[in-house]
Amino acid sequence: MSRICLCLTGSTLARDMDVLEKYRKYIDLAELRVDCLDPDERFLIRRFPEMAGLPLILTIRRGNDGGRYVGGEASRVNLLAKGLAYAAADQRRNFAYVDLEEDLNVPSLEEAARAFGTRVIRSWHNLEGVDEDLVGRLRKLRRVGDEIVKIAVKPGSLDDVTKVYQAAKETRDLDKILVCMGSYGVNTRILAEFLGSRVSYTSPLGETDLPKGAPGQLDPKELSELYRFRSITTNTKVFAVSGYPLTVAESPRFFNTVFRMEKIDAVFVPIPADSVHSLMRLAQEIGISGISLTTPYKEQILPFLSEKSKEVLSIRACNTVVNGPDGWSGYNTEALGFSDELLAFVGRKDLKGRKVTIVGAGGAAKAAASEVFRLRGKALILNRTTARARSLAEPYRFQWAGLDGRGAELMEKYSDIILQTSSAGMEPNDDVDPIEFHNFSGREMVMDFVYKPEKSLCLSRAEAAGCRVQNGLDMLHRQARYQYVYFLNKEFPPSLISRVV
């Protein structure tokens, strides 16, 4: 079973111990990154296993392998030897593992390690991509039968991640650690069990003074509690949220909280995808059961669907796909989630007589336009690309314009309700207001689909003018409850509605 390893990157052993105590209940072992220690502290590392009181990996990572050690190789070998020297008969007072790179050939180190039960991790780091023959590389790494082989790679695409999962299947017999660094590899850190990886490395992200162990590492508490890492097996159902760039995603927190409350053997993971094709290839490779789609794949997914709901056919956008025996089925839960929230917000049963501005022309805007039309409202579509605004508006006989002078003029007539559906203003681009040209009168009702930050620049400006405002979080939860129905083929438990916030 895969275990959670905390990377200790403090400049002193005392700081590392502080971090270790804080996160101890979330981890199974720790890696002492000696390369991050101050030079004087490095000579004291032999004491650390007894201080720590849990299994430790001794690592002195070189700069070309993503570490911070800048001394000569001879001095690095000498430090490794100091960490292994004077081994105690009680193995708990020794390092449990030592990480030695593929090109490090010092038999005396290996002999010293094995003499007192310290296992060698034979490692290879590729910071430029994924090796062409990853299976061959894994099999050649191990020099003797008791070594654990470790490969850490930096995927340049989601297809690279799929190659790692495929290589893991072909090397089931190896005792190994597989690491995919960077944002593309976050799913592999959660699904380490699917890789047959002995360890998933984490960093204490709340400790801002400490360097991260490697790009893409999760916080140990987040991995342990939110993703319930220790309960994941190869039989666990996998669901995902995917888009690009996937900088903000509330869905994992929502669904993993529900799975925990209901004791469902499932996990919901974030998967940034550079193309919808690569996303579907990965989904097939690891058997993803369902995906929540965000920008820009709500329209691009349509050709991959063997079945489309009537809402998808009407709106021409899909935010929910489910993997079944006959292929992928697509649904749109944004429309109902949006209209439920909008009607609750405005306190009406329909939009008859209301004039609405919809900012954006993507998948969320399509759902909003469809529902505004169904609820008998009249709308103006504004988008930076006017051709897209026109394409969305014409089927409903709505007005359309660009984010320009004409759009500003028309917006004055369509400002009973303003729906900001684009990602403009969402973290990390939270300094953007797509309708900065509009002067709020205080009479408008403004709903911004952005939920991080809690109040976008646009929403804050509207509120300051006296407008009623609403962000997109409640709407997201409403549409997620509809997704739950498709993902799990059962109604969302009413008792959980007030508990998942």
**3-state SS class at 299:** helix
Domains, the chain, ordered by start: 3-235 (3.20.20.70), 242-332+478-496 (3.40.50.10860), 345-470 (3.40.50.720)
The rounded distance, in Å, linking the Cα atoms of 220 and 423 is 29
Round to whole Å and give the CA distance between 348 and 124.
62
Tell me which residues of the chain have a pLDDT lower than 50.
none
For position 429, what pLDDT does the model report? Answer: 81
Nearest residue to 135 via CA among 162, 177, 179, 167: 167
Return the active site residues. 298
* DSSP H or E run through 364: helix 363-374
Euclidean distance between CA atoms 442 and 229, whole angstroms: 48
* CA angle (35 as vertex; 33, 38 as ends), nearest 5: 105
**Residue type for position 492:** F
At 353-368, the pLDDT tens digits run 999 999 999 999 999 9
Q: Structure tokens of 168? A: 């893991």
pLDDT recorded at residue 112: 85
Is omega for the bond preceding 215 within 30 degrees of 0, making it cis?
A: no
Q: Is the separation of the CB atoms in 144 and 122 below 8 Å? A: no
Could you give the CA distance from residue 491 to residue 351 in angstroms, rounded to a whole number? 28
CB 320 within 8 A of CB 292: yes
What pLDDT is attached to residue 410?
97
Q: For position 304, what pLDDT does the model report? A: 97
Tokens of 106: 């010092």
Tokens of 160: 């690279």
Q: What is the pLDDT of residue 31?
A: 98
* The model's pTM: 0.91
